[in-house]
A and B are shown apart, each in its own frame.
Chain A
Amino acid sequence: MISLYPLVYNVVLSTRYDVLTQPGTSHFVGLGNYQQILSNAHFWADMGRTGIFMVVSVTLEFVAGLILALVVHQQFKARGLVRASILIPWAIPTAVSALLWKMFFDTRSGFVDFALHALHLPGANMVWFNSPTLAWVPIIVSDMWKNTPFIALLLLAGLQTIPLEIYESARMDGASAWQSFRSLTLPLLRPAIMVALIFRTLSALLVFDVVYVLTGGGPGQSTEVIAYYDWYKYLVSLNFGVGATVAVIITIFALALAALYVRLLQQRGEFLS
């Protein structure tokens, strides 16, 4: 019940003018905040950027996660080591891993610079954080490093439920590895894939730590995402009315994803294994 309280509180706040640095001016404004936000180009720009980030980061992480899962699913000597080593980045706090990548992309003593130099590739001495497009690279790399293992683990669990005999019989029928992957693995993995995608999409929608630490939304506002915008409204502008309005909008998107997840679980006919 305690968890529902913020939700209700946000809805109430979103109908009020409430700025902390202007005590005594709080009053009811109806849907005024929504009108203001929905007609605000800055808000839509941030929504658009968040959308693009969701698509790009989730796609990349999914592909990388699938490859990771397929590799770890094989039997080989260093399997335990690999599984542990991919889990470590996942377990590091997001803010700390973002900090780590921030220093990696630094123009002085950063690793990326060093590696590009050593390999004689272009881009050494590049100021990553001063480009509206390239500034996304550290953000996405950092996000991938941290979150790919999570997708990989969910997919791995899915892979392990597929009985090996199916592959045996497929091979006997003369199917190539690629064919059996496409017509057997992928369909059977579908539920796990959906779960992984929904969770990642949710957290990409809410991405904050990485952006705050790496770019602060800059240069200009070219890496500003919706959660950052909301945080800024709440805790820098101290404008709780508008902050709550944005929060309600984000919540609606998040709950839509939740509904999708619940439907998926129901389709599977199971809430729990």
Chain B
Amino acid sequence: MKTWLGRAGFNILVVLIILYSLFPFYWVFKSSLESSIALNQPTSSIWPLQWTWVHYQVIFAVENFLRPLLNSMFVAGSATVISVILGSMAAYGLARMPIRGKVLILGFILLVSFFPQIAMVGPLFLVFRHLHWLNTYQSLIVPYLILSLPITTWILTAFFSQIPADIEEAAMVDGASIRQTIVKVFAPIAMPGIFTAAILGFLLSWNDFLFALSFIQSPNMQTVPLALVNFRNAYYVHYGQIYAGVVVASLPIALIVLFLQRRIEAGLTAGSVKG
């Protein structure tokens, strides 16, 4: 009897957790299909009252929401590629380093990752202004590198350290060059780790709001979060369009998470990354 109760209670808890995590998305999706008239009513219901796809049409045809999507992908993508390349090189060195120096450098990297984002806004703003970089892709790619590089390096070092050096030594003994060893032997083993670091680095850049808010001003340079927050004309905030925009912006992220959940979890715990 007691176990039965416990089971039921546990199942209810599980259902509640799923609802808590996912129901908001349902509500957003539902609202994105609701006509503006219904959205402005003081009451609402669990199903859309007046179905319409018009908000989706408007955000792409009129508001050009594709542009921020592409901007975000380009900026976050570039930052991720660069930071994974640099991070891999640094991490490989670190992982194969004697323990003392490693601790020092890793300690430094850690310290950098604690450096508050808000404290970077002012100095970077002045530097970018000086370089005439404000409102350009560089003005986001560089800060995103600063954000993601410590974390990718940290995660990659953790992953690379687990790969025994014997494998490489064996390859070298067999007459492989350093290059061949890295490309043919090390890289395939390291790939999952690199992939994990890339996902986390990408999410970190994709999720930024503060830097985009501070360094980007023109509507066609906006990233997705910034574009959504600014979804309005001079006088009017269009709820339906925001709902539709949130759906469009969340979908790729949700897919990434669903398919790559294990990698993300592995990366988060390996690196104890900040959220």
The reply, when asked whether chain A contacts chain B directly with Cβ atoms under 8 A, is yes
CB pair B112–A3 under 8 Å, yes or no, is: yes
Interface of A is mostly: helix
CB pair A83–B265 under 8 Å, yes or no, is: yes
Is the CB of B186 closer than 8 A to any CB of chain A? no
Is the CB of B103 closer than 8 A to any CB of chain A? yes
In whole angstroms, how far apart are the Cα atoms of A206 and B250 in the complex?
24
Residues on B with beta carbons closer than 8 Å to the beta carbon of A254: 114-116, 119
CB pair B275–A90 under 8 Å, yes or no, is: yes
CB pair A83–B261 under 8 Å, yes or no, is: yes
CB pair A84–B261 under 8 Å, yes or no, is: yes
B12-28 interface code vs A (CB 8 A; 1 in, 0 out) = 01100110111011011
Q: With A103-B242, A203-B274 as given contacts, are A109 and B31 in contact (CB-CB < 8 Å)?
A: yes
CB pair A84–B210 under 8 Å, yes or no, is: no
CB pair B123–A9 under 8 Å, yes or no, is: yes
Q: Mark the stretch among B35-43, B55-63, B164-172, B188-196 that contacts chain A.
A: B35-43
In whole angstroms, how far apart are the Cα atoms of A243 and B273 in the complex?
27
CB pair A195–B39 under 8 Å, yes or no, is: no
Interface residue count on the A side (C-beta < 8 Å): 88
Residues on B with beta carbons closer than 8 Å to the beta carbon of A109: 31, 34, 38-44, 239
CB distance from A192 to the nearest CB of B (A): 9
CB pair A71–B254 under 8 Å, yes or no, is: no
A122-163 interface code vs B (CB 8 A; 1 in, 0 out) = 000100000000000000000001110110011011000000
Q: With A104-B27, A153-B269 as given contacts, are A85 and B44 in contact (CB-CB < 8 Å)?
A: no
Residues on B with beta carbons closer than 8 Å to the beta carbon of A203: 274-275
CB distance from A137 to the nearest CB of B (A): 15
Residues on A with beta carbons closer than 8 Å to the beta carbon of B209: 93-95, 208-209, 212-213
For residue B46, which residue of chain A has the nearest CB? A114
CB distance from B86 to the nearest CB of A (A): 11
CB pair A88–B21 under 8 Å, yes or no, is: yes
Residues on B with beta carbons closer than 8 Å to the beta carbon of A100: 24, 28, 246
In whole angstroms, how far apart are the Cα atoms of A271 and B246 in the complex?
39
CB pair A84–B161 under 8 Å, yes or no, is: no
CB distance from B211 to the nearest CB of A (A): 11
CB within 8 A of A111: which of B17, B27, B270? Answer: B27
Which of A99, A117, A149, A156 has the most chain B CB atoms closer than 10 A to its own CB?
A: A99
CB pair A6–B124 under 8 Å, yes or no, is: yes
Is the CB of A202 closer than 8 A to any CB of chain B? yes
CB pair B268–A244 under 8 Å, yes or no, is: no
In whole angstroms, how far apart are the Cα atoms of A74 and B6 in the complex?
13
Q: Mark the stretch among B77-85, B175-183, B224-232 that contacts chain A.
A: B224-232
CB pair A95–B229 under 8 Å, yes or no, is: yes
Residues on A with beta carbons closer than 8 Å to the beta carbon of B149: 3
CB pair B117–A206 under 8 Å, yes or no, is: yes
Q: Mark the stretch among A39-47, A181-189, A227-235 that contacts chain B.
A: A227-235
Residues on A with beta carbons closer than 8 Å to the beta carbon of B254: 88, 91
Is the CB of B257 closer than 8 A to any CB of chain A? yes
In whole angstroms, how far apart are the Cα atoms of A76 and B20 in the complex?
19
In whole angstroms, how far apart are the Cα atoms of A4 and B108 in the complex?
10
Is the CB of A240 closer than 8 A to any CB of chain B? yes
CB within 8 A of B161: which of A68, A230, A240, A272? Answer: A272
A200-211 interface code vs B (CB 8 A; 1 in, 0 out) = 101101101100
Q: With A154-B268, A235-B125 as given contacts, are A200 and B275 in contact (CB-CB < 8 Å)?
A: yes
CB pair A250–B118 under 8 Å, yes or no, is: yes
Residues on A with beta carbons closer than 8 Å to the beta carbon of B226: 95
Within 8 A of B (CB), among A170-226: 195, 199-200, 202-203, 205-206, 208-209, 212-213
CB pair B122–A82 under 8 Å, yes or no, is: no
For residue B42, which residue of chain A has the nearest CB? A108
CB pair A85–B243 under 8 Å, yes or no, is: no
CB within 8 A of A104: which of B24, B249, B253? Answer: B24
CB pair A251–B119 under 8 Å, yes or no, is: yes
In whole angstroms, how far apart are the Cα atoms of A74 and B9 in the complex?
14
Residues on B with beta carbons closer than 8 Å to the beta carbon of A7: 115, 119
Q: With A10-B122, A231-B118, A258-B110 as given contacts, are A150 and B224 in contact (CB-CB < 8 Å)?
A: no
CB within 8 A of A10: which of B110, B123, B243, B246? Answer: B123
Is the CB of B272 closer than 8 A to any CB of chain A? yes
List 22 A-B residue pairs with CB atoms under 8 Å apart, sorted by A's residue number: A3-B112, A3-B149, A3-B150, A6-B115, A80-B261, A84-B258, A85-B18, A88-B250, A88-B253, A92-B249, A96-B225, A153-B268, A199-B275, A202-B114, A205-B116, A227-B116, A230-B119, A247-B116, A251-B115, A255-B114, A258-B111, A258-B114
- Using A13-B122, A99-B246, A234-B214 as known contacts, list a sample of 4 further A-B pairs with CB atoms less than 8 Å apart, ordered by residue number in A: A5-B123, A84-B261, A157-B269, A258-B111
